[in-house]
Amino acid sequence: MRERTLKIITLILAIIVITTFSSYYYFSTNLTLAKAKQTSLLERIDWKNSKILEKKDELNLTKNKLTSVNLQLNTTRVQLEQNLSELYQWQNGSKYELHDPLYEEVIAFIENDTSNSTELEIANAKDKGLRCAYVVILVNDGAYPLIGFDTVDKGMVYFEEITDYQVIPEIGKNYAECVVGHPYIIENYTIVDILIIW
């Protein structure tokens, strides 16, 4: 009887021990896996940290560049403003203070001017400080009034007052041929002289 009890106790103990060690095996396997995961995570964290540092450097570089470019932009803007102001002062004249204009100034003026006579157009141009000439194109049987500008970038340019057509007159040529775009029927009006009256 005593031996049997001992045997049973031994058996139960053995089962418990086996169960205990099985669970130990299970836990230790889990622990190994968890440690591997932990190591992997640590490596990933290190890698991520290094990447963050790289990106931060990159960001700082970009920001520095941006600051530098902004500074450059501001400086350029200031310069531009100074130049524009100077340009404006130069271009902003009156009939007593005239300047030979840029071609673009002339075009802008011609496009915006609504006067319907050459003398008014000339007066308007001079009121804005644009030096211009009353141009008389003498043909064999009459004359064509034009407005002329001695532009600083493209030399003398001529325009018809009413149509705003540009004219490139040459003595000896037919007037219609001299109008840019040839909008007129060519008639026998040969240019004999060009009077430029400032």
Partner 1 sequence: MGEHDKPNSSTRSKIGECEYHLCDKKDVEVFRCPFCDKYFCKEHLKAKAPSAAPFRTTDRESMMEWHKKGGHPCPDYVDMQEIKKRVEKEKIKKAFESLSKAPAPSSKIAKPSEKVEQPKQYQKKVYPIDRPREVRSKRKKYEEKSGVKPYIMKSIIVLLVVVLFFGLWLNYTTVKALDNVNKDVENKVTELMNLQDEFDAICNNIENTRRVLSSVYSNLNSTKNSLQKTIEKLQYLKSREKYILHDPTYSEVINFISRDRTDTNRYIEGEYVCSHFARDLNNHAEKQGIRCAYVEIDLKEGGHACVAFNTTDRGLVFFEPQTDERVKLQIGKQYWADCVIPKGNYYYERDPNDVVVNFVLYW
- Residue nearer to partner 1 on the CB measure, 72 or 188: 72
In whole angstroms, what is the distance from residue 127 CA to residue 197 CA?
17
Residue window 23-52: x/- pattern of binding to partner 1, with contact defined by CB under 8 A: xx--xx-xx--xx-xx--xx-xx--xx-xx
Q: Which of residues 157-186 bind partner 1 (CB under 8 A)?
A: none
Q: Taking the complex as a whole, how short is the minimal distance between the CB of residue 167 and partner 1, in angstroms?
A: 17
Cβ atoms within 10 Å of 164's Cβ, excluding its own? 13
From residue 101 to residue 130, the character string flagging contacts with partner 1 as x (rule: CB under 8 A) and all else as - is: -x---------------xx--xx--x----
Is residue 189 exposed (0-12), middle (13-18) or buried (19+ Cβ within 10 Å)?
buried
| 151 touches 130 (CB < 8 A) | no
Total residues binding partner 1 (CB under 8 A): 75
Does position 1 interact with partner 1 (CB under 8 A)? The reply is: no
Closest approach, Cβ 112 to partner 1, in A, equals 18
Residue 172, helix vs strand vs coil: coil
Residue type, 194: I
